Amino acid sequence: MYDETPLRQLIAKRIDEAEPSALSPEAAALLHETLPEPAPEEEGRAGPVYLRSITAAGWRGVGPEATLDLPHGPGLTVITGSNGTGKSSFAEAAEIALTGLNARWDGSNGGKPRAQTWRRGWRNLHGATAPLVAVSLTLDDASEPVTVRRTWYGEMVEDARTTVVREDGTELKLDECVNASLLDVYRPFLPYSELGSMVDGTMADLHRKISTFIGLGQLAEMDTRLAARAKECKEIEVRPGPLKAVAVEALDGLDDRRAVDAMRALGGRTPDVDAVRDLLDRDAVADQGDAARLRVLASLAGPDEAEVTGALARLREATAAFEDVRHSNAEDAHRLAGLLETALEHRRRSGSAHCPVCGTEDRLDLAWAEATRAEIERLQAEAAEAEAVRRALSSARRAVHDLVQPVPDLLRGEESDLAGLWREWSLCRSLTDPAELAQRVGLLAPTLGAACRQVGEEAARRLTDRDTVWRPVAVRLAEWVEAAEKAKDATGRRKSAEAARKWFRKLTDELRVERMEDFDKQAQDVWTKLCESSSVSLGRVDLTGTAKLGSVRLDVSVDEQEAPAYSVMSQGELHSLALSLFIPRATHEASPFGFLVIDDPVQSMDTQKVEGLATVLSECARHRQVVVFTHDNRLEQAITHLGIEATVHRISREEQSHVTVERMRDPVKQAIEEAREVSLDPSLPQAVADRVVPAMCRAALEVACVETARRTLRDEEGRRLSLAEFEKRVPARGSAKQYVGFALLGDPSGKCRAAVEGLHRGGWDLIEKLNEGSHWGLATVTDRKELVRRTERLAEAILRFGRGTGGPQGGAR
């Protein structure tokens, strides 16, 4: 088991324990700066969450409302039915109710999104019923269920709303029951469409999800931050090159002693930054005085008239809008909405409909709550509009203030016309009244701008004869010096960032190996059970690549020879691989979801894989509620063959998409009950009864024999008899006596009369009579009820015989 210390603390500990030779102090400090944020406390319930029922109406293949009740808590439930009966509709109903998404349609789990025309087919074509899906949940082993219901108000599948209600009518928020982020990480739904897409083109997404649920999800963010630090430094390092080229070009041919010194400092492999900086500093000292003042005046710029005009227009518009709002009732909307929200919250917390203010009983009923919510939405919209207007006015006023610059240092203390005008301009920042501010700024801005232009033009003329050549060159040199000094500092920081990232990637690999051990072991265990007889072997499951751009590497071999996974696997093996990757994630101990919903996993699997699937599902069902939908009866056969405890429901679909769900009983008891119902039908003609009742009794007896034969033959010769081998030994169509021989002697040709009589006196005569009646109609059934009773007693005796051999009990319950 890996170290479960929170990721931030774990990485910090590894940084502090690193040797200085492996990680410099600068790199360690950078790593500490880029550590993941502390994980917030989990919202929602911790689990486990179990399904109690799934309901659908007007949804996909379900017309009138139908409900699938489920035994909540750990255990295996199998829902069977032919294609088109609505099985997948129930599976997708549970998924979309809880997540609001459907991976089969939108490609959210790696599949290809369906076309819009296909996605519009979510409504049932037959039902006038308003579409809805719902799941009833049990939270934290609580007895009181919570129902999550999704209803539609539009034609698109996105036009839906979700409500969450306790059994007592108390409303909740969905995130109080189900954590949406954990639904993505430990997603307990596996539709048939995802069986293929999970391992076909979705490895980056699978890498992300596996990394997240084993606790490494924040590594990508940290690696990205380190890479950004290094990239930022590289960009700073390359900036001096172009600036140097521009400076050298400007210096070339310049007849000035300073230019000669600058060219000498810039020459050679490593330019002398300090020499150029000293040159510029000396020149700056010499340039102090009148020339420096003139250059500042020449560059002096007043307010940008276009910006001022635009800002004033926005201010006046915002002022007018604010006046409109101030004279409306919007100012009180926020307060009123808060009062109504408090009343609603009181109703929700107290669970009482009595008004706490006036004491009127049942005043705060559901109708009041609905009307109040609508009023709150209206008031909040009105308040939001008023607040937006206030913010717009404040923003417009701030924008005008930002255009008003303080008096430049050069003009402070002067008594010139320009200095006085600028002081008057700077006072506009203190004006808060929008109308007064707009008036003053509109008046002063053009005046100040004109004065600045006049003074600047005069200063520029005076500077025309002074250093007109050297000044631009000095500016270029100063830009290069600043960039070169920053680049020197950036080089050291880049090296630290690259060293930190190199060390961090090594740590990432180590953490992956540590934390993938349990997942890898479980995935291989599932694969081994599913593909026990396959020549394809699954070895390690590794996360590869970076934390941001990663993939999942599958160690696959054929007859111990390494091979690419997808090119050598059959469709059944690909589905087995998908299950091997899905189950460890969905059953992770940190998952709050106590259920798995798997749709049609049997397709493309041979009989041996189906038997392995039954074993895997049974083991998962020890600690999880496993709900499996399938149209293939081989899974049910494998469950019965292996003696696995399971609840079986059968779904059927009639005209107008009327879906019914029937819980299947013990097959022997069910066959006896069906025979008894027919035998008690007074309208059944004697001639028909002489043929039908024996045939139904014989069929019930054969079911008991086959179930006992499974126990008799399953551990033959000290090994488990597989379902495929059993089907070869015990044909689907045989005589009643053959089935009895298999059940009691393990041999269809054995002499089993004595065994039957020893087990149940008169049993052999009963079998003879059932054969005569069902095959030739030769026997007259004088007492139908007694015939069924005798058959039931013989069937029970055969079943007791099988259980007495030490074979495990089980089967569909």
% pLDDT > 70, the chain: 84
**Pairwise pLDDT comparison (752 vs 230), residue with the higher score:** 230
Give burial (CB, 10 Å; 0-12/13-18/19+) of 358: exposed
Predicted local distance difference test score (pLDDT) of residue 624: 92
Can you tell me whether residue 291 is helix, strand or coil?
helix
Burial 414-453 (b: 16+ CB within 10 A, else e): eeeebbebbeebbebbebeebeebbebbeebbeebbebbe
pLDDT at res. 642: 81
State yes or no: pLDDT of 236 exceeds 90.
yes
pLDDT tens digits for range 763-788? 888 888 888 777 655 566 778 888 88
Confirm whether 357 is domain-assigned: yes
Residue 198 lies in a domain: yes
Whether residues 341 and 315 share a domain: the answer is yes
Q: Is residue 767 included in any domain, yes or no?
A: yes
Secondary structure of the chain: what % helix, strand, coil (to 5)?
Answer: 60, 10, 30
pLDDT in tens, 110-148: 445 554 544 556 677 765 678 899 999 988 766 688 999
The pLDDT of 492-505, averaged and rounded, is: 92
Q: Does 112 or 508 have the greater pLDDT score? A: 508
Q: What is the mean pLDDT of residues 252-269?
A: 83
- The domain boundary residue, chosen from 660, 690, 714: 660
Q: Which H or E run contains 213?
A: helix 203-213
Q: Among 250-264, 325-339, 526-540, which range has the highest average pLDDT?
A: 250-264
Higher pLDDT, residue 432 or 381: 432
Question: Is residue 645 domain-shared with residue 767, that is, in the same domain?
Answer: no
In a shared domain, residues 215 and 314: no
For the ranges 75-79, 443-447, 466-470, the lowest mean pLDDT is seen at: 466-470
Q: CA distances (Å), 729 to each of 676, 709, 805, in order?
A: 31, 10, 19
Q: Which of the four pLDDT bands, split at 50, 70 and 90, describes residue 803? A: confident
Q: Is 14 inside a domain boundary?
A: no
- Structural domain harbouring 769: 667-812
Specify which of 17-31, 191-205, 760-774 reaches the highest per-range mean pLDDT. 17-31
Hey, which of 239-243, 278-282, 390-394 has the most confident mean pLDDT? 239-243
pLDDT at 808 over 50: no
pLDDT above 80: residue 796: yes
What is the CATH number for 593? 3.40.50.300
Question: Residue-wise over 7-18: b if at least 16 C-beta within 10 A, else e?
Answer: beebbbebbeeb
Assess whether 619 and 716 both reside in one domain: no
Is 90 exceeded by the pLDDT of residue 503? yes
CB-count burial class (<10 Å; 0-12, 13-18, 19+) for 468: exposed
- pLDDT value for 205: 74
Q: What average pLDDT score do residues 594-599 get? A: 92
Mean of pLDDT over the chain: 80
Q: Is residue 296 located within the same domain as residue 203?
A: no
CB 177 within 8 A of CB 41: no
Over range 149-158, report the average pLDDT: 84
pLDDT at residue 4, as a whole number: 56
Is the confidence at residue 271, as pLDDT, over 50? yes
Last residue of a domain, one of 391, 407, 426: 391
**Highest mean pLDDT: which range of 103-107, 310-314, 327-331, 343-347:** 310-314
Mean pLDDT of 210-230: 81
Instruction: Kindly report the pTM of this predicted structure.
Output: 0.61
Q: What is the pLDDT of residue 466?
A: 56
Q: Lowest mean pLDDT: which of 102-116, 167-181, 385-399, 482-496?
A: 102-116
Q: What is the pLDDT of residue 118?
A: 46
pLDDT at 561: 58
Q: Give the total number of structural domains in the chain.
A: 4
What average pLDDT score do residues 40-44 get? 47
Q: Is pLDDT at 807 greater than 50 in this prediction?
A: no
The predicted pLDDT at position 133 comes to 92
Asked whether residue 84 is assigned to any structural domain, the reply reads yes
Q: Tell whether 18 is covered by a domain.
A: no
Instruction: Tell me, yes or no, whether 174 and 148 share the same domain.
Output: yes
pLDDT at 76 over 90: yes
pLDDT digits (tens, 9 = 90+) for 557-582: 665 656 555 556 777 777 888 888 88
Residue 493 has a pLDDT of 92
pLDDT tens-digit profile of 282-298? 776 665 556 677 778 88
Please count the residues of the chain.
813
Q: What is the pLDDT of residue 198?
A: 56
Both 588 and 698 in one domain: the answer is no
The C-alpha atoms of residue 62 and residue 127 are separated, in whole angstroms, by: 8
700-723 pLDDT, tens digit per residue, is: 888 888 888 877 766 555 556 677
In this prediction, residue 586 carries a pLDDT of 86
Q: Are residues 327 and 283 in the same domain?
A: no
- Co-location of 211 and 319 in the same domain: no
Tell me whether residue 549 is in a domain.
yes
Residues 490 and 352 in one domain: no
DSSP SS3 for 80: strand
pLDDT at 316 over 50: yes
Rounded (5°) CA angle 12-15-20:
160
pLDDT score recorded for residue 720:
65
- What pLDDT band is residue 698 in, cutting at 50, 70 and 90? confident
Question: Which of 616, 640, 660 is the last residue before a domain boundary?
Answer: 660
Does the N-terminal peptide bond of residue 406 adopt cis geometry, omega within 30 degrees of 0? no
- Pick 287 or 98 by higher pLDDT: 98
Tell me, yes or no, whether 439 lies in a domain. Answer: no
The per-residue DSSP string of 635-691 comes to HHHHHHHTT-EEEEEEEEEEGGGEEEEEE---HHHHHHHHHHHHHT-TTS-HHHHHH
271 shares its domain with 147: no
Distances in Å between the Cα of 670 and the Cα atoms of 697, 704, 805 are: 11, 11, 24
Rounded distance, CA 89 to CA 125, Å?
13
- Model confidence at 730, in pLDDT bands (50, 70, 90)? confident
Tens digit of pLDDT for each residue in 682-692? 888 888 878 88
Q: For position 72, what pLDDT does the model report?
A: 83
Confidence of residue 556 (pLDDT cuts 50, 70, 90): low
CA distance readout (Å), 169 to 72, 166, 346, 693: 21, 5, 15, 51
Q: Tell me what percent of the residues of the chain surpass a pLDDT of 90.
A: 12
In this structure, the answer to whether residues 261 and 320 fall within a common structural domain is no
